[in-house]
Structure 1
Amino acid sequence: MAERDELVRFGVSFPAPLIEQFDQYIDEQGYTNRSEAIRDMARRSLLEPSRMNGDEHVAGTIVLVYDHHVSDLPIVLMEVQHRFHHDIISNMHVHLNHDQCLEVIVVRGELARLRSLHRQIQAQKGVIYAELSVTYADKHDASKEHKHT
C-alpha cells in the first residue's frame, strides 16, 4: 500500500468459530494483524481471472498436472502451447512421479487469449489440474528494452 493512500476503517462481524480459524490462519501465515490479512485477501479476490475484463493486459501462470501416459497428451499440450507462443514467456516441466508431470507456464498478454489457452489445456483428457493465476501488467513490452550483453 502506498504511503499516500487513505485508510478507511470499517467493522466486520465473524461467527466465533470462524474468527478462531481466521486468527489461526493469520498466525500461520505470519501476519501481524487481521487488517493485513483481510487486505491481502481482498487484493487476491479482485485479481481472480473471472472478475477481470478479457481485454486487460495481464501476466501470470498456468499451472497444470497431467498424466503423461495418456495417449499423445504431451504432444497435444505442446501443440496447444505453440499456437499461443506469443503469449508464453517460459515454462518449466517437472516429473512428479512415474505417471504425473507438473508444468508451470509463465504467460503475458490479453486475458481473453490466456483464458482460451487455459481452457484448451484444461479440456484435454489426462489433465488432472489446470489453474490460471494472473495479475495486472503494463501493456508496454519491457523485454524489447532489456538488452543482454
Structure 2
Amino acid sequence: MSVVSVSMPEALLERIDQFADEHGYTGRSEVLREASRSLLGEFQDDRLDGRPLMAVVTVVFEYDSPSVEEAMIHLRHEHEEVVTSSFHSHVGDHLCVELFVLEGSLDDISTVVGEIRATDETLTTDYSLLPVDDVGPFAELE
C-alpha cells in the first residue's frame, strides 16, 4: 500500500483521530481511506447517469471571508449553464449561507459541486441530488 502525505489543519486532524477512536477504526488512515472511497463514489450512481438532474447545494462560510463570497460569484458565472439560481443569506452574527440550484447532467453537477467544495475557507458544503425526468427518482428500484 502506498503512503501519502496530506496537509490539513490541526483541528481537522484532531477530529479525525477522535472519530477513529469513537467509531472503532484502527487509525486515521482507515478513516481517510473510507472517506475517499465514499467521496469518489458519490457521483458514480449508474441509476442517475444519462438522466436530467437537479441539485440543491448549501455552502456555509464565515461572514468575514470575502474571498469565499467572491469565489461563489465566480462559480455562478463560470457555470451559468448549470446554475439555475442562487441565494445568499446571513445566518446568526457571523455566518453566510449560499444556496445554489443546479440543473444538468451528473457530470456537470459533479463538476460544480467539486469546485464549490474545493473553495478555501468554506465551513461546510452539502447537497441533495434528484432526477427530474418523467421516470421518477429511482423508478427502476420499485
Change (3 A) 1:71 1:118: same
Q: 1:101 aligns with which of 82, 96, 99?
A: 96
8 Å Cα contact 1:115/1:132 also seen in 2: no
Superposition deviation, residue 111 in structure 1: 1.4
State the SS of the aligned residue for 1:72.
Answer: helix
CA distance in 2, matches of 1:57, 1:92: 22
| Structure number with larger C-alpha Rg | 1
Aligned to 1:85: 80
Query: Which of 96, 107, 111 in structure 2 is aligned with 1:116?
Result: 111
Mapped partners of 1:67, 1:50: distance in 2: 31
Partner of 1:73: 68
Q: Partner residue of 2:45?
A: 51
- Aligned match for 1:135, one of 125, 130, 134: 130
2:52 is aligned with what amino acid? H
In the TM superposition, what whole-angstrom CA distance separates every residue of 1:14-61 from its partner, at most 9, and x where no partner exists? xxxxxxxxxxxxxxxxxxxxxxxxxxxxxxxxxx75524554320121
Match of 1:8 in 2: none
- The whole-number CA distance in structure 1 between the counterparts of 2:83 and 2:97 is 16
Deviation at 1:89, TM superposition (A): 1.4
* Matched position secondary structure for 2:81: coil
Q: Provide TM-score, normalisation by structure 1.
A: 0.54
Q: TM-score, normalised by structure 2?
A: 0.57
Provide the rounded CA distance (Å) in 1 between the counterparts of 2:84 and 2:128: 15
Kindly provide the amino acid, as one letter, of the partner of residue 96 in structure 1. Answer: V
Instruction: Name the SS for the 2:100 alignment partner.
Output: strand
Distance 1:132 1:112 in 2: 15
Give me the whole-angstrom Cα distance separating, in 1, the residues matched to 2:89 and 2:78: 22
C-alpha root-mean-square deviation of aligned residues, in Å? Answer: 2.1
Runs of 5+ in structure 2 lacking a partner?
A: 1-41, 135-142
**CA drift at 1:137:** 1.7
| Cα shift readout 1:113-139 (whole Å, capped 9, x = no counterpart) | 111111111111111111221111239
| Maintained 8 Å contact 1:63/1:130 | yes
- Consecutive unaligned residues of structure 1, counting only runs of 5 or more, are 1-47, 140-149
Q: Residue 67 of structure 1: CA displacement?
A: 1.7
